[in-house]
Amino acid sequence: MQAIDLVDPEEKPEPASRKRRVSHKDKPVELMIFAHNFKQARLSAGLTQTDITKRIGISQAYVSDVERAVVDPSLTHMALLARVVGRPLHELLRPSSTLKPSQSK
């Protein structure tokens, strides 16, 4: 499988260490919804966290932090993550127990 370069090399996401960490009591519900839906979409797409990192140039630790809602990703990062798992961003922000099969391939 060929890598997809979704990020301009001059616009690589910030390292996870520079991202704002979110405490458990301060986690917005929207952040937790995105984290859950993103992880489910990644698994459904058959991708590992490492696959994600290779495709968009972010660290595996950052992907893990996003999936656990430990960091508050920017809108740009959420859009990149949604694109790499083949889902529209609005779908990953929608509250649901499971994701519907993607209609876009």
38-72: pLDDT as tens digits: 999 999 999 999 999 999 999 999 999 999 999 99
Look at 17 and 22; give whichever has higher pLDDT.
22
8 A C-beta contact, residue 42 and residue 80: no
Comparing CA positions, the residue from 73, 59, 76 lying closest to residue 30 is: 73
CATH 3.40.640.10, applies to 33-92: no
Domain chopping of the chain, boundaries: 33-92
Structure confidence at residue 9 (pLDDT): 44
